[in-house]
A = this chain, B = another copy of it.
């Protein structure tokens, strides 16, 4: 009986096992490291064992490798029944490349901003009315993101539309104490910023505008009627 148990392992050994010694565990660890590194998908223990020389214990080798990578920039993770090497989660930000680019604000954005600055508080419908074209959500979002405009109080009219006002950040950026410091049309014209003469009949309208620019709270209502 005792003899039999002694003998059996030898008999059951395939020929290649006696010819080629099982590699030491350190070597097996190298193997699973290379396999996990190069594979396009996670690899199962069975698959690793199939690829490694006979007698290897991929499971144990993976465990050693897992411990070796503890605290490193990559780690050995289990994915279902398989294993893979992945970036340490805290270093995910390295997979991003940030570039900063200074861009001139689009014409749509600068016009929208100007209208908000001159007419605040102003609703989106009013901005569109003044510009003559619809204002994209992206433009408003951008200006809000830049912290140059913010939501003001809702207008007490049907639909209770939100209004937009400029922020202290806006004033700071443009070197203004208040939005009222913005020059009116008359001043713009005097400064040569307006070279195209107003169409006939518009002179009066301008006049009204300029007056109203001083009291900017009330301006918005003009368009609601």
Question: Using a CB–CB distance below 8 Å, which chain A residues touch chain B?
Answer: 29-35, 37-40, 50-52, 71-74, 85, 87-88, 91, 94-98
13 sampled A-B residue pairs with Cβ under 8 A: A30-B73, A31-B94, A32-B73, A34-B73, A34-B94, A35-B94, A37-B73, A37-B85, A37-B87, A39-B97, A50-B97, A51-B96, A51-B97
Chain B residues near A97: list those with CB within 8 A.
Answer: 39, 50-51
Distance in angstroms from A64 CB to nearest chain B CB is 11
Chain B residues near A96: list those with CB within 8 A.
Answer: 51
A33–B98 CB distance below 8 A: no
Distance in angstroms from A126 CB to nearest chain B CB is 38
A33–B95 CB distance below 8 A: no
A74: contacting residue among B34, B72, B73, B91, CB under 8 A: B34
Q: A31-B91, A37-B87 are in contact. List 13 more A-B contacts (CB 8 A).
A: A30-B73, A30-B91, A31-B94, A34-B73, A34-B87, A34-B88, A34-B95, A35-B95, A37-B37, A37-B73, A39-B98, A50-B97, A51-B96
Query: Which residue of B has the minimal Cβ distance to A32?
Result: B73
A88–B35 CB distance below 8 A: no
Query: Which residue of B has the minimal Cβ distance to A30?
Result: B73
Query: Which residue of B has the minimal Cβ distance to A92?
Result: B34
Chain B residues near A34: list those with CB within 8 A.
Answer: 73-74, 87-88, 91, 94-95
A52 and B96 CA atoms in complex are apart in Å by 10
Chain B residues near A33: list those with CB within 8 A.
Answer: 72-74
